[in-house]
């Protein structure tokens, strides 16, 4: 696993030990960032269910200024911290070991707003509708922001949830589906 493009292009990232996480492959990560915007002019992102942190780290490498990483597994948190330290990104990040819905509530209380939110939970373990409703309720998506949802390609996400609607959808490799939501204007 490596950083695909930007400031840290080619740098290796550690994966979370064991089989508790499913890392996004380099091929899928490259295709996804071509779809959501190859490079960013600042902004902040939230990497929920972060695992190794590779999606948030990729966004930082491509120009995001800040990223909040959240995962509830201790091995994932340790791996994120190791990857962040290796790339010297400590000043641009916050890392929290907590449940996803609790993290969304805490971000809302802090009145945080994100330009890019990554939702890549273990397949079949979380309701995307519930996560999207929490993001809307807490007002966490910036007006021009997007929400990236990675899911099993057999799972069909709703066309809209509250004020969010599908902007793009794609399947990668037959088993990975990606759905991008944005705020309806």
Any idea what the Cα angle at residue 60 is, between residues 54 and 65, rounded to 5°? 145
* pLDDT over 80 at 66, yes or no: yes
Instruction: Provide the token pair at 116.
Output: 């890019």
In sequence order, the 6+-apart residues with CB closer than 8 A to the CB of 93 are: 56, 60, 66, 67, 68, 69, 84
- pLDDT at position 141, please? 97
Write the pLDDT tens digit of every residue in 71-95: 999 999 999 999 999 999 999 999 9
**What is the DSSP code string of 35-48?**
HH-S--SS-EEEEE
Q: pTM of this prediction?
A: 0.93
> 26-183: what CATH class?
alpha beta
Write the pLDDT tens digit of every residue in 119-129: 999 877 889 99
* pLDDT over 60 at 20, yes or no: no
- pLDDT at position 21, please? 59
Q: Are 47 and 118 in contact (CB under 8 A)?
A: yes
- pLDDT at position 32, please? 83
Could you give the CA distance from residue 117 to residue 183 in angstroms, rounded to a whole number? 12
* pLDDT over 70 at 4, yes or no: yes
Any idea what the Cα angle at residue 131 is, between residues 73 and 84, rounded to 5°? 40
């Amino acid at each position: 696993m490596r950083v695909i493009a930007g400031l840290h292009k080619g740098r290796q990232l550690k994966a979370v030990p064991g089989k508790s996480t499913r890392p996004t492959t380099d091929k899928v990560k490259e295709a996804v960032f071509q779809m959501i915007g190859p490079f960013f002019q600042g902004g902040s992102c939230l990497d929920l269910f972060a695992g190794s942190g590779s999606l948030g780290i990729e966004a930082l490498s491509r120009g995001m200024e800040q990223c909040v990483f959240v995962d509830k597994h201790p091995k994932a948190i340790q791996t994120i911290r190791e990857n962040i330290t290796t790339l010297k990104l400590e000043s641009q990040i916050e890392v929290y070991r907590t449940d996803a819905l609790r993290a969304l509530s805490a971000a809302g209380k802090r009145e945080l707003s994100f330009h890019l939110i990554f939702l890549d939970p273990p397949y079949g373990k979380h309701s995307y509708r519930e996560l999207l409703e929490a993001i809307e309720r807490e007002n966490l998506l910036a007006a021009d922001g997007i929400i990236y949802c990675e899911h099993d390609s057999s799972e069909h996400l709703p066309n809209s949830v509250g004020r969010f609607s599908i902007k793009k959808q794609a399947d990668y490799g037959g088993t990975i589906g990606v759905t991008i939501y944005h705020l309806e204007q």
